[in-house]
């Protein structure tokens, strides 16, 4: 067993003797060599393979297409379904952002009753499950409304957009409130001394400054919303998830299940990962270094 001392930092007067000694190069005990994480993982994989292989083998018939061929064949359908999901997410984000900014401004209103009511609304929608809100909108909004004497149909996906925009509104409202509260009071006071009224101050001085603070959370919220869009398949909208399950039942092959679901997961991963990576970069850029 040998000991080595951590390399001293190049600081004058920094004595290496004050740093703790760490042992390195210790021989690994035999038990650790055999029963470590890697062998455990290998054993697990071997067990999984042993379980999975018979299920795959019994499906082996003659003249069947390979799984890759099937995936490529269904790609246009899945792509169009995914585009629909993106459309739903963009629409709900737009509606939710507009409503949320309004609600957030109401949350810092000088009137106490307005503040309290908007706080209750925000907390209520923030703490109820997305799926329940979605059911609420799908089942309780009529499927067509009468507008100026004509019947306007109200398709399911628009109701789904409204249902998804409610939690977005609540989250956005909290972000806006937090951002407005984090603007120094001096900004309000100097605006007042320059003769701005409250609405002008809010619109021209406070809100532009909050954009930078809200942006990372807003992007993160968009990623979360996109990942919530498959929920609409539960309430009967034909999104990517519904199409995938239709494709799976059309093919009717057990060995297709894992690749197909992994394929869908990859679609979402490829769409959402850049957003969250960019969010993290923005967060780091805007963060205050202590």
Partner 1 sequence: MDSTSLIEWLRPDWFFDLAVVSDEYNRGRYLAGLWMTIQLSVISIVLSLIVGAVGAAAQGAQSRTLRALVGFFVAFFRNTPPLVQLYFFYFAIGTVLQITGDNGRPVPLVSNFGWAIISLSLFAGALNVEIFRAGIEAVPKSTVEAAEALGYKRLQIYKDIVLPLAVRISLPALGTNLVNLVKTTTLAYAIAVPELLYVAAQIWSEDLNVQEMMNVLLLSYVAIVGVLVWVLHHWEKKLRIPGYGR
Please identify, among the stretches 183-191, 198-206, 209-217, 270-278, the one whose residues bind partner 1 according to the rule CB under 8 A: 270-278
Helix (H, G, I), strand (E, B) or coil at 56: helix
User: Which residue lies nearer to partner 1 by CB, 27 or 147?
Assistant: 27
Contact characters 127-146, partner 1, x per CB under 8 A: xxxxxx--xx--xx------
Please identify, among the stretches 72-80, 93-101, 189-197, 250-258, the one whose residues bind partner 1 according to the rule CB under 8 A: 250-258
User: Which residue lies nearer to partner 1 by CB, 35 or 269?
Assistant: 269
Q: Does 262 bind partner 1 (CB under 8 A)?
A: yes
**H-assigned helices in the chain:** 30-34, 37-57, 67-107, 112-126, 130-140, 156-181, 185-193, 198-200, 207-228, 240-251, 257-286
Please identify, among the stretches 76-84, 150-158, 186-194, 240-248, the one whose residues bind partner 1 according to the rule CB under 8 A: 240-248
Q: Does 276 bind partner 1 (CB under 8 A)?
A: yes
Least CB distance to partner 1 at residue 126 (A): 9
Tell whether the torsion through CA atoms of 277, 285, 290 and 221 is positive or negative: negative
Contact characters 38-57, partner 1, x per CB under 8 A: -------------xx--xx-
- C-alpha gyration radius of the chain: 28
Collect contacts of 58-63 with beta carbons under 8 A, ≥24 apart: 59/253, 59/254, 59/255
């Amino acid at each position: 067993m040998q000991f080595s001392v951590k390399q001293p930092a190049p600081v004058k007067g920094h004595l290496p003797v004050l740093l703790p000694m760490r042992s390195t190069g210790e021989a690994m005990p035999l038990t650790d060599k055999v029963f470590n994480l890697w062998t455990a993982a290998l054993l697990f994989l071997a067990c999984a393979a042993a379980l999975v292989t018979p299920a795959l083998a019994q499906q082996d018939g003659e003249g069947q297409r390979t799984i890759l061929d099937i995936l490529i064949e269904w790609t246009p359908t899945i792509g169009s379904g995914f585009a629909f999901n993106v459309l739903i997410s963009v629409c709900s984000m737009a509606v939710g952002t507009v409503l949320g900014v309004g609600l957030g401004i109401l949350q810092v209103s000088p009137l106490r009753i307005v503040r309290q009511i908007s706080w209750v609304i925000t907390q209520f929608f923030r703490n109820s499950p997305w799926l329940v809100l979605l059911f609420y909108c799908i089942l309780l909004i009529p499927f067509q409304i009468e507008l100026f004497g004509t019947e306007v149909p109200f398709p399911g996906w628009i109701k789904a957009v409204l249902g998804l925009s409610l939690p977005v509104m609540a989250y956005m409202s909290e972000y806006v409130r937090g951002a407005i509260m984090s603007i120094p009071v001096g900004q309000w006071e100097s605006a007042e001394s320059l003769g701005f009224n409250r609405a002008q101050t809010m619109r021209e001085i406070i809100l532009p400054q909050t954009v930078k603070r809200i942006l990372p959370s807003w992007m993160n919220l968009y990623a979360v919303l996109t990942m919530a869009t498959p929920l609409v398949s539960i309430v009967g909208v034909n999104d990517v998830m519904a199409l995938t399950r239709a494709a799976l039942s059309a093919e009717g092959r057990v060995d297709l299940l894992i690749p197909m679901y992994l394929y869908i997961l990859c679609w979402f991963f490829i769409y959402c990962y850049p957003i969250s990576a960019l969010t993290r970069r923005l967060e780091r850029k805007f963060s205050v270094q202590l």
